[in-house]
Amino acid sequence: MRLQLPTITLADIPSARRWYLRIVNYVDIAMVSFEDEKQLWGDPSPEFTCERLHELKVKTVVVKLAGAGCLLSVDGEQTHIETDCVDLPLDTTGAGDAFNGAFLANLCAGEDLTECCRQGNKLGGRVIRHHGAIIGDDYTRDMLVDRKKPTLAAHQHDAMFG
């Protein structure tokens, strides 16, 4: 069974856009799904989504592409990060949140942005193989970040936040 979030109604779009534009001024890293951005803004491609967010002064953009991985864009330089395809996802609930959590945990552990995306893809791919958003530790134990690394290395902090 594949669950999908309800779509935004036409009446909700103007309000969602207003809030989005107010909040984006405070964003250094945007992690968005292409399907949401396409629905909200009419973006024709993930590359366009990255360009639009960079124009809004977001330095680092990650566009989640469901089974196709994600698109990472830093200061306009775009890199597609593949993922292992899951033929029959059981439940997509929580996949985006799992991606975000794995991305941020790895970023705080000092990993580069490409590795953060790989780990986000990996955990998102595991979540969709199970019913519900929460999966057991036995499915994530091998993904724990190396706690010996410094949290958010100075060079990464400077590259991301200036």
- By annotation, the residues acting in catalysis are 97
| Contacts of 9 by beta carbon, 8 Å cutoff, 6+ apart | none
Closest by CA to 16, choosing from 4, 28, 6, is 6
Q: Report yes or no: 143 and 115 within 8 Å, Cβ to Cβ.
A: no
SS3 percent helix, strand, coil of the chain, rounded to 5, is: 50, 10, 40
For the range 153-157, what are the long-range contacts, defined as Cβ-Cβ under 8 Å and sequence gap of 24 or more? 153/110, 156/107, 156/110, 156/112
